[in-house]
Every structure is written in C-alpha cells, then in structure tokens.
Structure 1
Amino acid sequence: MRNLLLAGVSLGVIVPFAAQAQQQPAPPVAAPTPTPAPAADQGGVQDIIVTAAKREQNLQNVPISVTAVSEERLQTLNVTSTANISAVAPGIVFVPAPNPNVVQFVVRGVGTFAFADTLEQSVGVAIDGVPLGRVAGAVVDAVDISRIEVLRGPQGTLFGKSATAGLISIVNNKPNLHTTSFTGRALYGENEELRVQGTVNVPLIQDVLALRVSGWDFSRDGYLNAPKQPDGNIGDFHNMGVRARLAWQATPTLRFDASAEISSNWNDGTTTTTRSYLANDFLSYKGGPTIAQINASMGIVPGPNNRTIGVELQGIGGHVKPQFYQFEGNLDLGAVTLTSLTAYRRVKSDQIADYDYSASQANSYRTYQNYRSTTTQLTQELRLANAGNQKFQYTLGLFYYDLNVPQSSIEQDTLNVPTFPPPYYARGRQIQVTMNTKNYAAFADTNLRLGKFNLLAGARLSREESTGTFNRVSPQYAAGANGQDLSIFLPGSTAVGFPPYFVATSVKYTDFSWKVGGQYHVTSDVMAYVTASRAYKGPGFNFSNDLTASTFALNNAVVKQEIAHSYEVGVRAQLFDHTLTLNASAYRSPFDNFQITAGIPNALGGLTYTIINAGQIVAKGVEGDFSWHPRGALHGFSLDGNFAYNDTKYTDFANAPCFSGQTVAAAPTDTPGICAPIAIGSGATKQSVNGQRTVGSPEWQINLFGGYEHPVTDGLSAFLRTHWFHQTSIQYGVGANPGTLVGGYDTVDLSVGIRDRDDRWKLSVIGKNILDQMYTVRAVTSNPGLVQIIPYEAQSSWALALDVKF
C-alpha cells in the first residue's frame, strides 16, 4: 500500500494534491455566513475562502498547507469538538489526558507533551483570530462556526509563538445585519447522548445593528465500567454554554463586532484504565495486597481491551469554565483596512482524581489528586492590510500579549493502616505555581505579484518576558474543600523525599522569525509554491511537582526556547471544469531545543517527571488531498479524501530517559535504544533515541469521504455519506517502549437521511465506528503500571439528528 501511495505522490509533481476542499463556500471575515445552494444541486467543487494569511483568499491560492472544514461536514460525521478534528483533517492527532489542561494537539508528528502550565504548546489554537496562550479550554464545542482551518507547519510570522508545528484556527459566524434567521440541531444517541443547540440572528436596526446568540447543551452517560461508583460507570460529561455577538455598522466604512462567550464543561473523572502492571508495585505496604490483587478482586483484567476502572472516591471529576470576550473594529480606508482586535480570556479548571487503587482494603493505598488553575490572558492586535487585488499586498501589525497562570495541585496517598500513628498514615504535597508572560511583537506579511510569479516574504520581531514561582508546601486544602471524604486528607503531612521548597525565576528573550517563498501560477487553475520559514516557541519553566534544589541549580528551572525551521513545496490544481481538485505538499522541518516532558526512574522505584530540551527532531513527510464532485450522469455523487505520510524522528537526543523496566547495559554507551549508566558505577541512566519516532507520531493517516444525494420528490432529497479513517501505530513514550506503543486502527462512519431541497430541515441517522473497532488514544507509564485512555469513539454508536434552518 505504501508503494502505491508514494507512486501517487510522485505523480503529484505534475498533478498534485494538499488542502481539503469543502462543499460550501466560507464567508468573508466581516460578513455573515451565506446560505449556499446544496452542493448536489450545483455540482463541481466550490471555492473555499480562508483567512490563513489574515486576509480573505481562495484556498487554492494560499501558499501553505491548510485544510478548511465546514460546519456541515462536522455535523454530518457528528464531529462535535476540536478533539475529533483528526477525523477530517490529515496530519493532526489529538491526544487526550485525565487532566484537560495537559491534552495535546500533534501536527506533523510534533506536539508538546508537558505536564505543566508553565510551557506553551507547539500547536497553536486561535479563536476568531485570537491565539490562546494555553491549551486549557482549547477543546471547544463546534457550535455556529463558519469553518475550522488547520494550518500545518510553522506559522510564526502572522500568529506568533506557540505555533511552531501548526495552528488550529476556529472561525465563528458573525452577525448578519440584513436577515433574521434561526438554525438549530437536536441529536439523541446511545448512552443517553443528547445534544441541543440553536442560533438566532436578529437585525435590531436594519443594515446597522444586529445580534446573534447561540446556546448549547451537550451531555452523555459514562461508557467505562466502574463497579465502585454509584451508577456503575465513568466517562459522563455535560457541556453547556452561550455566545452572544453584536455587530454595529457605524458608518459605511466602519464596523464594530463585540462578542462574549461563557461555557461550563463537567466530567465525572479520569478515563484511564490499566493496560499492564509494573514489576515494582511499591504502592502496597508490607504484607498488604498488591494493586494487581486489589484490581483482580473487582474483576479487572488489565490489557488493551480493559474497560473497567477500580476508582472508589465519590464525586470525582472536573469542571472547566472558559470565558471569552472580544471586541473588533474594522475601518475601510479605501486602499487599506485598519483592524483593531482586543480580547480577554479566562479559563478556570478544577479537577479531582482518584486512581485505580482501593482504600477499602487493609494495608492498601488510596491516591488522591486535586488540580486547580485559573488562566487569564489579554491580547491586543492592530493591523493594516491593503485590498487583495493590488499588485503588492501586505499585512502589517503590532501585537501585545499578557498571560497569567496561577495554578495549584495537591497529591496525597493514604495508607489504610488505622493503628499506625498519623505520620505514617498519609503523605502528600501541595504545589503552588505562578507564571506571568508578556510578549510584544511587530509583524509583516507581503506578496509581490510579477506576472505569473509571486514573491512572498514575512517577518516578526518579538520580545518576551516571563517570571515564575514554585512553592511546594504541606497540603492546605484537599477533598474536604470539595465536599469529599475528609479521611483522605491529613494536614501537615509531607510526601517522602519532597520537602517544602520555594524558588523564583525569570527569563527574557528576543526573537526574529521570518518566512520567504515564491508562487508560480502555471495556469489560472494550477499553482505551485515553495517556502522557507523560521518560528519559535517561547521559553518556559520546569516546575514539575518533583522539582528539587539540584534540578533547579542546573538552569534556574528555565526550559530553553524551541526553534523551528521549515522548508515546504506544494502544488494545487483544479481540473475538468472545477469538478476535480488535486493538491499536494512535501516538507522538512528541523526543531532545535525541542521541549518535552519525560519520566525518569527515581530511587523509590517510580518515575520522576521532568521537562527537558531534546537536542533536535526532524519532521518530514508528504500530505495530499483531493475532491471530486462530478456533473452530468454522476451528478449528486462526491468523493473526497486526504492523507498524511509522516516520518518525524529524534535526530539529536542522546540524553533521553530510559523507560521503566528497560534493560540497563553494564557500561556507558551512546548506541541508540540502549539504556546505560551515565558513568561506570552510577545508578543514573540515560539512552540515545536518535532515529526513533517522536511521541504521538503515526506514519500514516488516511481519510476517505463518499457521498451521494438524489431527489426522491420535487421537494425532498435522500442522501448517504460514508467516511473511512485509517491510522497506523503510535508511540506515546520517549524511546522504543513496547508498553506505550499503541496499534493502528480503521474506523467507518455512516450518515443517511432525508432533507428538504430548500435546506430548511434535515433528518439524519448517524453511525460512528459502525464496525465497532476497539482502539486506544494514549498509553503512559503511571503507577501501578501502564495506563491507557480508551475514547468513547472506540465503540460503535448510533444517533438520530434533526437540523432546522429558517
């Protein structure tokens, strides 16, 4: 299969393929979403307007690898949030986590696996043009969106730091000044899944003032077995929110848009199950039961198919509450447009976790963790852009960013030996972290048209200043503060080996990022491009919970900035009267000082997680997509697809940690894949992982979408949509750890239904993973062994959806 696909890529030099085309056009940024005629009535592949360069452009003319996904496609597949974006866009992986503050997006095999709020991500997320400083709250529900754009490769010149691997840009619909409308959806499915959403648009003063309000309420019952929980399961969620947008056309040339969004997202606990046990099950005490024995008493059988969790603590789970306020002004000065964009974002997160142990049996542990954070950010952007039909096009801008991260977490192990005196009954620690980052930047993006050839150039000058504090103390609050069982909290106890500790640190950094390239329009429908770029991800702090004075002394806990270079070529083509789109891109991107969290075995027999810089990784690969929407005898049929081949590996990482259980060589060596002491007689070990794949990096991802629509009466049409997704295996640990290597999988989705041909309503039956393919989306080493995350989508599910529009 690989040879066949690579042969197809070779042909892409002549007739290539690379950015996902959709069936309906997206609107200009400052205008409301139009209601296009259904694609089945139009035929052909419709133009897609994107704002990847912060100006409106036909996607086929954009010289970067970008995918634009419409809300209609997301709804057809019941893709309800950015967490499932890999189901429609190539080259991207979402990696969930028990704590929503440490989930990851991975693009082209590059992501940031860091268990700390003091590092930003390699994959940026922007909502309506505003970059998010932290991933917390970046998993958003797809409600009343115009499109989601996935930009692959460094985006440092226009979107700044934290976009060294790529950017996910969510573009919401703006108010329509002219028309009153309502759109809504109601979906009911298995596991009591219920999704209700609606959007109303009302011109308050015709052509002058309009209000657009969206509301949603999404919920579903748990899907994993939890015999110690009252309802016998875990994995419930309940998301609800409201977004209000106000548009004011103050003059024919001046428009203001204000928006406010508040949402609340609840979950009922960590969804990790035990995959296997470690040899050092040190959490049991003396003659007490091992974790394996405790789990076995509840019928838990560890393994890739384990869907049972032994968690006992009641009321576990979490609550994430994002708030987003934005004010945008656009002044049309004729030849240029002046834009001001001010935004404030606040995300509050509170998570309570209890792991797969049991405190109800003598001589056993209950491990409890409570994590709290409140992230706030203020951004201001001012930019000037000229009209898109000029020979020389430019976007010039200034940017200011102020991020605050106060975070606190508490960990406590409770040993069920009541006869022991309190100092031996429990141990714990509370970590209090603060961080403030200010960033100042000036940027420019230019395009000079010389006949069929375009010269591209961009630059961004940034100044960044960060300060932070780390304070490890005896626990000050715990379960009791959340109405939980007070018996697991003993004030004044301290985790063994991690005494109270306080440090403060700071870092300043100046960066110059750039991009150069060229475009050549072979014909009006065929374009080729080549680009080279540099971007950076800001420095951060190694404030892992296990921080010690010796670790801090190495570099004041500063994690060096991550630098990315990228070289990309691509071609885009539309053929046969725009019924066929074929695009392709190839890239090579070295990343220096790559920031990563790694688990290092400690003296207690467990793992100490710390943040380090890998010397270098290199991402390289090929991406492509096609869209075929024929006319004539095949009118109503459509076939779309995309693929990503990725070969991202460590190229300079000789001091990587060994994984738990790895055989240790007798003498030091730099042979890749061999765990060895750092010196003769030393108990400290390391390994070289040069030549091995990076964390979260599948070799292949493939999507195929098929659709057919046919009139059944003068006013009704029946439709069928299918989707096949293929992903190869992924390594979720640094090195060749067989325990954290997760196998690949294939899923098939189906949507069938009937709709009004004027698009006023649509009734759909939606099947997800209809072949019931079991799979895992994360595996990590965590006491008592290897744990994994099995998503809800790793099972067959069916739902009925009604969409209305008037």
Structure 2
Amino acid sequence: MRNFLCYGVSALALLAISTPVFAQTPPKAQDDPNQVEEIIVTAQRRSERLQNVPLAVSAVSGNQLSTLGINNPTELRFVSPSVNFGNSANTRGEGLAVRGVGTQIFGDGVEQSVGVVVDGVPMGRNGMGIADMLDVDRVEVLRGPQGMLFGKNASAGVISIITRAPRLGETSLDVQGSYATKDEIKASMTANIALGEQAALRVTYGTTERDGYIFNKVRNEYLNNRDSDTLRVRFLADVSETVRVQLSADWGNSNSLCCSWTARSAPATTPFGALNAASGIVPSPTNLTNAAGATFFQNQDYRGLTSQVDWNLGWAELTAIAGYRYWFAIDNNDPDILPINILDRNSGDSKVDQTSFEVRLASPAGQNFEWTLGLFSFEMLNKGGNIQAGTLGLNLGPGGTVGSDRRSTTINKSDAIFGQAAYTLFDKLKLIAGARYTDETLSVDWTQVQASNTIGTFPGRFYGSASASRGETNLSWRLTAQYNVTDDILTYVGVSRGYKGPAYDQGLVNSTVVFADPEIPTSYEAGFRSKLFNKTTIFNAVLFSTEFKDFQAQVFDQNVFPSRFTVANAGKIETKGAEVEFVSRPMTGLTLSGNAAWIDATYADFKNVACYLGQAQLPFGTTRTSPRQCIRINSATGPFVTEGTGNKLTNSPELTWNFSANYEQPISTALKGFAQINYFWRDDVSFSAAGDPNAVQEAYGLLGAQLGVAAADGKWRIALFGKNLGDEKFVNNVIGQPVLGATGVYSQFPSPDAEQIVGISFEMSFGN
C-alpha cells in the first residue's frame, strides 16, 4: 500500500498540489448585522459550516487567537475548556489532553492520545506539535476518538491547525507585534504576493522572546525563557478551472534555558530541605528560585514540506497530500536542582524523520448520499537516546561518577484505508457510518552502555543490546444519527471506537523490550447545535461518556533506586461529562461568548501502581482492608504498590469555563474604539495517579482585559492588554522530587502565566 500511495501522490504532484479552495467565513445576511458569522471547518474532511457538523468540534479563528495573544498550542486551554496541557522536563514528555485524557510520557516509543495535525499532516511525535502557531486561519478542536478520518492514533481527540493560504489577486503586507511584562516580544510579518491572476505566494516570519521566570542562584541566570523563530512559505496556483495547486515549506528553531522546576516543600530534616536552606531557598508553592549546579537547556529545530492537490472531477473531489517532517530536540536538566552532582548529566535527544501520504475522494456536498474514501500511509524514524551520569549520592571519591548511555532507533509504520458515508432520509434524518482499517508495526533497537568519563554503571539496569517488533491491526469506526429539528437546530447521537497503537517502555532495566498494548476507547455522544434569536446567538451542547481499555499511562516509581518513569497499561479509564458553548450578539458592537466543560475522568481499573513516597506501607503478607493501601504483592523485597482505581486522572479538572465580552464603537468616520474582558476558571487537579494528596493544584481563575483603537477600514489596530490581572499563583505540575526524594519532599513546575502580565500590541496592513 505504501508504494502505491507514494507513486500515486508523486504522479498527482506533477499535475498539482494544494489545499481546498474554501471561503473560511461565509458572508452573513445583509438585513441583520448582528447575526453571528459561521466558521467553515473540515472536521469531516470536507468543507462545511461548523453548525452543520454532528460532532463535538469547536473552532477558534486566527483573529481571535491573535487578539488574545495566543500563538502556541499549549495555550489553547484558555479558549477551549476541554483541552489541557501537561508540562514536563522537556518537550519529549509534554502533551495535550482532551476531556482529561492525554499522554505525558518521555518514551520514544509512545505516541500521543491527542493528535496534532497541521494543514492535513499529522505530527507523529509528542513535542513536534508544540511549536509556535504562525499565520493561522483557524484551529479546530475535535473531541473524542478521531482516528477514523484524521491521521493516526488520535484516540482522545485532534487539534487541527489550518494556516492561511495565499490570496489570489492580492499584494499586501501585514505586520503584528506586542511587548509585555518579562520583556516578552512577539512579532510577525506576512507578505502576500500576487503572481498574475492565477497564482500567489505567501511568506510569513515570526519571532517570540521572553525572559525566564525561575532564577538560578548558583549560575546567576533566569530559566524557562522563550526564544523561537518560525518561517513559512506557501505557493498557490489555479492550474485550471478544476485543479488548484499549493506547495508549503516551513522552518522553525527554538533555544531556551528550559525546563526547570523548583522546590515546593521539604522538611528541614531531609537532605533536600537542608541543602535548599543552605542555598538560601525556602520551598513553597510560590517559590521561583533554585540553585541548580548544572545547566538546563532545550534546543529544537524543525522543518517540513507539504504538498496537496485538490482536483474537482465533477462526480467527486480528489485530494492528495504528501508531507515530510524533520524534528530534532536536545535537552539537559539537573534533577537535584542543587549545587551538588547527584545527576548533573541528564540529557536526551531525539531526531525524527517522518513521511506521510494521503489520498481521498469525496462526493459533492448537498446530495442525499455523501461519501468519503481514502488511503493513508505513514512512516516515522526516530533516532534518540539519553545520557545520565552523577554520583547518585554515593561516596565515589573525588570526581567519581557513574552513568549510563542509551541509544535507540524506533520505526513506526502505519497503513490505513478509511471511509465515511452519509444518507439523508426525509430531509431531516441523516445516518452516518465511518470506519478505518489500520495495519501498524512498531520496531525498536537499543543499546545501553556505561557513560563516558564515568567509573561505573547505574545499578539495576541492563547493559547490552536488544531489539523487538510488534505488529497490530485494528478496525475503528463511528456511527452517527443526525436529525435537523429545524433549519437552525441540529441534534445528533453517536457511538465510536478509536485506536492508538502499541508502545514500549524504555526503562531499560530488562534485557527484553516491554511493550504496552494498544489503547482502545469506546465513546458515546449526544448533542445539539442551534442558531437562536434570528441567528444572533449560537448555542451548542454535548453529553459524552468514553471508556478507554488499556490506557497507556506513565508512572513515576520512587520506590526503586534510582527512581524512574515506567509505562504501563491502566486496565481501564472512564471520562464522562458535558460541554457547552455560545456566541451571542445582543446589540450592535457587543459580542458575548463562553464555553464550559464538566468532566469526570477517573481510573476505572488501574491495579498495582507504584505507591507515592510517604504512603503508609503494610508488612508483606498483610491482607488489605482497602485497595488504596500500599503493600508488597510479589515478595518481601518486591516493590510497594497500590491501586489507582477510582482516582482522578492526572491533571484533569472537573470544571473549566471561560467567558469573554467584546465591545466595538465608532469614534469617528475613520476610527473605532474597542474593549474586551475575559475570565478563565479551572478546578483543582491532582498530578498523582496513586492519589498523593500533596500533589494537588488548587482551583484558580484568571482575569484578562484589552482596550484600544483601530482604523474603521481595518488597516491598523493598537491596544493595551493585561493577562492574569489578579496575579493568581499556580503551577502546571507537582512531582515527588526525582532526586533526593523523601517523605514530604515535592517539586513543582511553575507556570509562565502565573503572574500579572501587561503590555501593548499593534497590527498594521498595507496594500490591497
């Protein structure tokens, strides 16, 4: 299948290669200026109005993201309550979550439950999709299993980022910039160049800089800064009346002293507490200081090529997409965050080469019978590893350290055939069925040796080489019934079965590769979409319930030496809840919008998870009176385990909501003024699968505002803005301190958004 797709896409690329020609915001009726515009989305791989899509999908326009100063997927949680972000010590362990479900695992052999797709190309590695968003037309957030039509392994949802296509017949220049607290500078420039009547070029460059917010007292430097640059070039041409062509290339680079953490709590009687006190550091939930002796850094380079052809055959629309992605990341951190060499070398690197090919046919819209049929092929080569070295607190003599050096090559191949059909009965009832058959293989070769410039190896690890491969086939599907009560009210119910492929644990303590089983969700949804009050208000709501079998979870085990992260299948997790969203224009110039998500996400069956440090331990052989008790189940010297069953999923708030009010008013024939206020609320969350009561972030709310003036013709805009005006303090993660851990010793990842931010922004447009 892969060769067929390669040859097919290559042949089509000789004719043309591009994105579909769709107006993203249809004109509203001229007789009512307060009607809410409807965004055009491609959530079902065809262009349609968002209000006509019988799925749990929402869309955020590029203009809205720009107004709120959002230019990275990690910040989507502030506009889409069902989305969350899991912070980590590096991008290889970061991840997005939808409805409480996401993957936050360091391993090279584990993919994300939430897929990130950019202009139709899936990002195969966690971290690849966490890059600055540049010149974005819209972001579509698809909630629930989405692997039927989108890319691969999207068992919990998809974040689909669609950038702006070149505009035919237009030569223009758009400039945007802002300056804010912490010397934060965001700037971008986009040139749209008409190349005759049938072709255009669009070039965009953007840069982001921001000072760090964690101070390292030993190295006298601020950590967790931002310094990134992005460049994208897109070419579009109408080859004929039926064929449109586009080629796209992008490049990006990010270098930062990231990603550091700080001491949250540490009794003075513990080594960690005493050493922090000696460095003049007081652990606390608001502590923004550490004394790391080794450097923190994280450098990333990425680039890609995308080609797409859309060919109107009359009886169907043919779309072919070919994508290549390269991503390289290298990082180091100091796990003890103190001026002692417990584990000063803790570096990792990952180099990814990824190719993907997709060909699909879609019938014309508006017919009683509509269908989509496609083929997809994907291959990702990931070469990486990590080096760890230090004293581990052992007395090894002057300059003596022990360490390990792991190198691995991971290959993931996936081929699929997918399709969806919809049939309309009685002009009101539409039945939809979709399915995807996937054939996937995950292969790994790795070697672990003693690290250079050390006198010994880490205890408890296997040194040598190993290789293994695992293949899986799967049929995922979706069934939906859609009923249009009126032209303005749509209801639907649906059931779907998703899929995320196998993974492997790179703990490297065994001579064999340990695989985790595929992750299989089954989801039920019921929802409605409505346009009310003469279409001046949009109100949508969804009820959902999803059960994940063999969810791939990461657990931090501090009961072994040295402590390590492991990958395991949580037998079953459940997430259920309700989501609502609205947009309303009650009067000329005023727009109110908001959305909320109530989510109950729990481990329904997660046995033998590592106990948290300090949890009361029962003697071997003692009978449990509660599954939450910590016992040894294998032997008198085996690891202590408990049950995560019934605990909340990590980093999953029960209630999240936001509200925004925007008002515009003409000042003169040439000027208009505008004001905006927004508020974001997030419930408390736990960061421990084992239910550690000390790994909790309390609820918080963030207030933002904006005030400015703009040209009536939209040619320029300037505004003063503020974020977190209440100066709320919170963190993105709480962990048991990974080195020098003890009962009551915790560290945290402070959030860059946990301080009051004020600034000024501007936008200017030139040309036609």
Structure 2: runs of 5 or more not aligned? 1-18
How many residue pairs were aligned? 741
- Residue 589 of structure 1 pairs with residue 546 of structure 2: yes
Matching residue within 358, 377, 401 for 1:426? 401
Residue of structure 2 aligned with 1:296, choices 261, 277, 295: 277
Query: In the alignment, residue 238 of structure 2 is paired with which amino acid?
Result: Q
Indicate which of 452, 455, 458 corresponds to 2:434: 458
Report the AA paired with residue 589 of structure 1: T
Amino acid at match of 1:262: W
1:60 aligns with 2:41: no
Q: Compared with structure 1, are the counterparts of its residues 602 and 417 closer, same or farther at alpha carbon in structure 2 (3 Å cutoff)?
A: closer
1:225 matches 2:225 = no
**1:437 is the counterpart of 2:437:** no
Measure, in 2, the Cα distance between the counterparts of 1:404 and 1:317: 24
Alignment match of 1:447 (pick from 400, 406, 422): 422
In structure 1, the residue matched to 2:13 is: none
1:790 and 1:39 mapped to 2: Cα distance? 49
Partner Cα distance (1:693, 1:29) in 2? 42
The one-letter code matched in structure 1 to 2:200 is A
Query: Which amino acid in structure 1 is aligned with residue 239 of structure 2?
Result: A
Query: How far apart in 2 are the matches of 1:588 and 1:279?
Result: 46
Aligned residue for 2:51, secondary structure, equals helix
Correspondences of 1:434-583 after superposition (within 5 Å): 434-450=409-425, 451-476=427-452, 490-491=453-454, 493-544=456-507, 546-549=508-511, 552=512, 556-583=513-540
For residue 498 of structure 2, give the secondary structure of its aligned residue in structure 1: strand
SS at match of 2:274: helix
Maintained 8 Å contact 2:24/2:40: no
Letter in 2 for 1:317: F
Counterpart-to-counterpart distance in 1, 2:509 and 2:501: 21
Q: What is the CA distance between 1:225 and its match in structure 2?
A: 1.9
Of 50, 71, 82, the match for 1:91? 82
Taking structure 1 as the reference length, the TM-score comes to 0.89
2:727 is aligned to 772
1:32 and 1:176 in contact (8 A); partners too: no
**Secondary structure at the counterpart of residue 72 of structure 1:** helix
Q: Per-residue deviation at 1:355?
A: 3.4
Secondary structure class of the residue paired with 1:156: coil
Is 1:214 the counterpart of 2:214? The answer is no
Q: How does 1:276-675 map to 2 (within 5 A)?
A: 276-277=265-266, 290-314=271-295, 316-359=296-339, 365=342, 367-414=344-391, 420=397, 425-450=400-425, 451-476=427-452, 490-491=453-454, 493-544=456-507, 546-549=508-511, 552=512, 556-604=513-561, 607-630=563-586, 634-666=587-619, 667-669=622-624, 671-675=626-630
What corresponds to 2:703 in structure 1? Answer: 748
Deviation at 1:357, TM superposition (A): 3.9
Cα shift at 1:206: 1.7
CA distance in 2 between counterparts of 1:114 and 1:417 reads 29
User: For the residues of structure 1 that align with 2:424 and 2:337, how far apart are their CA atoms?
Assistant: 65
> Would the aligned equivalents of 1:357 and 1:365 in 2 still touch at CA under 8 Å?
no
Deviation of residue 280 (structure 1)?
10
The 8 Å contact of residues 161 and 535 in structure 1, kept in 2 or not, is answered as no
Matched residues in 2 for 1:200 and 1:40: separation?
Answer: 35
Higher relative contact order (CA 8 A, sep 6+): 1
Contact 2:335 2:739 (8 Å CA) reproduced: no
Contact 1:38/1:759 (8 A) holds in 2: no
- Structure 1 residue 147: Cα displacement: 0.3
Shift of 1:272: 0.9
Question: Of 113, 116, 132, which aligns to 2:123?
Answer: 132
Moved more, 683-692 or 654-663: 683-692
Is the CA contact (8 Å cut-off) linking 1:359 and 1:366 kept in structure 2?
A: no
CA contact (8 A) 1:266 1:317 kept: yes
Distance between the aligned counterparts of 1:590 and 1:430, measured in 2?
Answer: 39
Distance 1:233-1:37 versus aligned 2 partners, 3 A rule = farther
Distance 1:37 1:581, change over 3 A: closer
Shift of 1:615: 0.7
2-structure distance, mates of 1:357, 1:399: 45
Following superposition, the deviation at residue 414 of structure 1 comes to 4.1
| Secondary structure of the corresponding residue to residue 726 of structure 2 | coil
Letter in 1 for 2:372: T
Structure 2 counterpart of 1:761, one-letter code: W
Q: Distance in 1 between matches of 2:757 and 2:32?
A: 31
How do 1:104-253 residues align onto structure 2 when only pairs under 5 Å count? 104-207=95-198, 209-230=199-220, 232-253=221-242
Matches within 5 A, 1:725-736: 725-736=680-691
Deviation at 1:431, TM superposition (A): 1.4
CA distance 1:34–1:390, change in 2 (3 Å)? closer
- CA 58–32 in structure 1, closer or farther in 2 if over 3 Å, else same: closer
* CA apart distance, 1:668: 4.1
**Cα displacement (A) at 1:417:** 9.8
Does residue 716 in structure 1 map to residue 716 in structure 2?
Answer: no
CA contact (8 A) 1:40 1:637 kept: no
**Residue 210 and residue 297 in structure 1: after superposition, are their counterparts in 2 closer, same or farther (change >3 A)?**
same
Deviation at 1:79, TM superposition (A): 1.3
Report how far residue 779 of structure 1 moved. 1.2
For the Cα contact (< 8 Å) 2:555–2:565, is it kept in 1? yes
- Do 1:294 and 1:357's aligned partners in 2 also have CA atoms closer than 8 Å? no
Structure 1 residues 452 and 761, CA gap change in structure 2 (3 angstroms): same
> How has the CA–CA distance of structure 1 residues 645 and 357 changed in structure 2, closer, same or farther, with 3 Å as cutoff?
closer
Say whether the 8 Å CA contact 1:111–1:696 is kept in structure 2.
no
RMSD: 2.3
The percentage of counterpart residues that share the same residue type is 31
CA 279–522 in structure 1, closer or farther in 2 if over 3 Å, else same: farther
Between stretches 387-396 and 528-537, larger displacement belongs to 387-396
| Structure 1 CA distance for aligned equivalents of residues 314 and 612 of structure 2 | 61
What one-letter code is carried by the residue in structure 1 that aligns with 2:292? V
For residues 753 and 574 of structure 2, the distance between their equivalents in structure 1, rounded to whole angstroms, comes to 31
Structure 1's unaligned 5+ residue stretches are 1-27, 282-289, 477-489
Shift of 1:29: 4.0
The one-letter code of the counterpart of 1:269 is C
Q: Deviations over 1:223-275 (max 9, x none)?
A: 22222234x42222210021001112111111111000000011113221111
Separation of aligned partners in 2, 1:40 and 1:141: 39
In terms of mean alpha carbon deviation, does 271-280 or 755-764 score higher? 271-280
- Give the partner amino acid of 1:558: F
> Secondary structure of 2:148's partner?
helix
